């Protein structure tokens, strides 16, 4: 075999084996985001301070995800209602689908 052809084959094999696992990374991110959204919604309290309520900024937050979770759950519930839970579960299952072995 010609030496140049052998080098080209070796380079092609290296490029294929150095595959970047972007679907898996995106899947893990979607799992994490879906879980965070779901925990924020489950621990929602109408008494939590959020973007929709002004007032005492020292008020205790009851949301598991903190002040950001309180604002996130308020925005999701005000914008989409109970369909927010379906959205969160969809993100979670899409992430699972991306990381599971084929």
pLDDT in tens, 8-20: 555 554 455 556 6
Say whether pTM exceeds 0.95: no
In a 10 Å sphere around its CB, with 0-12 CB exposed, 13-18 middle and 19+ buried, how is residue 99 labelled? middle
Tell me what pLDDT residue 14 has: 46
Domain boundaries along the sequence of the chain: 24-50+60-102
Mean pLDDT value across residues 37-65: 82
CA distances for 32 relative to 37, 91, 96, angstroms: 9, 9, 10
Mean pLDDT over residues 76-82, rounded? 93
Residue 102: which residues within 8 A CB-CB, separation 6 or more?
A: none
pLDDT, position 18: 56
> What average pLDDT does the segment 14-42 reach?
84
With CA atoms as reference, report the closest residue to 93 among 34, 41, 38.
Answer: 34
Res 54 pLDDT > 70? no
């Amino acid at each position: 075999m010609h030496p140049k052809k052998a080098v080209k084959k070796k380079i092609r094999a290296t490029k294929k084996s150095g595959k970047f696992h972007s679907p898996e990374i995106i899947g893990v991110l979607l799992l994490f985001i879906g879980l965070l959204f779901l925990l924020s919604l489950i621990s929602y309290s109408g008494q939590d301070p959020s973007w929709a309520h002004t007032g005492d900024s020292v008020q205790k937050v009851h949301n598991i995800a903190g002040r950001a979770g309180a604002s996130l759950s308020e925005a999701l519930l005000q914008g989409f209602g109970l369909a927010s839970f379906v959205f969160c579960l969809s993100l979670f299952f899409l992430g699972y689908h991306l990381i599971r072995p084929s």
